[in-house]
Amino acid sequence: MKSLLLTLAMVLITLTQPALAQSAPAKTPEYSYFTLTPDITTNYITQSKKLGYLRLQVDLMVSDPDYIPLVEHHAPLIRDAIIQIIGEQPEVKIKSLAGREAIRQQCLDKVNDLLIAETNQKLLTELLFTKYLYQ
């Protein structure tokens, strides 16, 4: 009796597995990254006569690899927006961790707004500063 129940359970499991696998294939995002090259080197506002500069490496994360050619096509626009935002930042904000995060978020928002205006879709999931050197 036990072996009959065990055999019946195995048959039911075997028959239901393909149905479960085909029922609802969930599409998960396939994240891809695009690195702006070369690194961005620009000035920021200092409180002394000494010139301050910042060198950034920026990686752009997209949720679909098909967006990479669009991001690459708009790389000059993205670079210009980031340089403009950095150039308006005070030294205190550039050198603090909270300020760096605020700048990163501001860059992400501005670049997404520009890309939405150009492509009618939100391309970027995240904008990352993978190198951040200031002097």
Q: What is the mean pLDDT of each run of 10 residues along the chain (135 residues)?
A: 55 55 64 95 88 94 94 96 95 95 97 95 95 94
Give the Cα separation of 5 and 1 in Å (integer).
6
Q: How many domains does the chain have?
A: 1
Residue 1 falls inside a structural domain: no
- Domain assignment present for residue 95? The answer is yes
- Measured CA to CA in angstroms, residue 95 lies from 36, 54, 90, 127 at distances of 22, 10, 9, 19
Range of the domain at 98: 32-134
The type of residue at 85 is I
Q: Does residue 6 form part of some domain?
A: no
pTM of the model: 0.77
Read off the CATH number of the domain in which 97 is found.
Answer: 3.30.479.30
pLDDT at 67: 94
Whether 99 is in a domain gets the answer yes
Residue 36 lies in a domain: yes
Q: How high is the pLDDT of residue 49? A: 84
What per-residue confidence (pLDDT) applies to 57? 97
Residue 84 lies in a domain: yes
